[in-house]
Amino acid sequence: MGSLAGRRALITGGASGIGRATALLFASEGAAVAVADLDEASGETVTQTIQDAGGQAIFVLCNVTQAADCQRAVRLTVDELGGLDILFNNAGIIRRATVIETTEEEWDRVMAVNVKSIFLMSKYAIPIMEKAGGGVIINTGSGWGLVGGANAVSYCASKGAVVNMTRAMAIDHGWQHIRVNCICPGDTDTGMLHDEARQLGVSDRKFLAEAADRPLGRIGTPDDIAQAALYLASDAASFVTGTVLVVDGGGLAG
């Protein structure tokens, strides 16, 4: 029996990177998993991998910036998996630019994917969790939600919002036995990190070498972050809510 046996989890951005690693880990710990993403091919691959290993998983095609899609994702999770105990709001994008360089459309897109999606998914998930007697919500923030960073103003603004949304939600919904926490990863080896290098016009090798300049001397892996999500989702964190868990190899330590 895994630490999440009998739980039902919905993971946004579950087709790749941190979301994929978390879906696979949660499933290995006994959870039934709904993988929500716009990348249908990759999402179906993740669910098939879980099913092939004997687990239960579904793929939900979902634009997390649209209320109807978020409501549908929650409904399908409940209908197909039998309930919803864990919501991992993990979908996210980045635009590396200053205020001057960022277009209004880019600003709106970053805020919609990184912030509005958490509002929408949680809006529809919380009543389900309350009715069931409780649940867990995990939001993906960033180290740049706690400190500023260069050439990433929309991303920093969005992740700062995620951090404080997490605290506010923990206060609002603790009485419903819903724990709400935030993971703030450091640079992690995902497609988004490589996309940052492209946006900045820097070679992957140079960008990743600079990103590894932290006390542990390396960038994170999706599995590093998935393990943190597993802790927060499990009963091991039963008295943990409203917290911001930094998982960054010491990058913010000094």
Summarize pLDDT for 118-153 with one digit per residue, the tens: 999 999 999 999 999 999 999 999 999 999 999 999
> Whole-angstrom Cα distance, residue 238 to residue 42?
33
The dihedrals phi and psi of 12, each to the nearest 5 degrees, come to: -85, 150
> Whole-angstrom Cα distance, residue 240 to residue 225?
17
pLDDT of residue 2: 86
- Looking at 3.30.930.10, 1.10.1060.10, 3.40.50.10800, 3.40.50.720, the CATH number of the domain 8-246 comes to 3.40.50.720
Q: What angle do CA 93, 142, 105 make, to 5 degrees?
A: 30
Average predicted confidence (pLDDT) for the chain: 97
The CB-side HSE value for 37 (13 A sphere, CA atoms) comes to: 27
Summarize pLDDT for 16-60 with one digit per residue, the tens: 999 999 999 999 999 999 999 999 999 999 999 999 999 999 999
Return the closest-CA partner of residue 190 out of 21, 10, 42: 21
> Whole-angstrom Cα distance, residue 196 to residue 104?
19
Question: Which residue numbers are catalytic?
Answer: 155
The CB-side HSE value for 244 (13 A sphere, CA atoms) comes to: 23
Q: Is 219 left (phi over 0), alpha (psi -120 to 50) or beta?
A: beta
Summarize pLDDT for 151-161 with one digit per residue, the tens: 999 999 999 99
Summarize pLDDT for 214-246 with one digit per residue, the tens: 999 999 999 999 999 999 999 999 999 999 999
CA 149 from chain centre, in angstroms, equals 20
Give the residues across from 9 on adjacent strands.
Answer: 33, 86
Share of the chain above pLDDT 70, in %: 100
Domain definitions of the chain by residue range: 8-246
pLDDT of residue 254: 83
pLDDT of residue 28: 98
Task: Tell me the two tokens of residue 39.
Answer: 């990348």
- For the cut 70, the answer to whether the pLDDT of residue 1 exceeds it is no
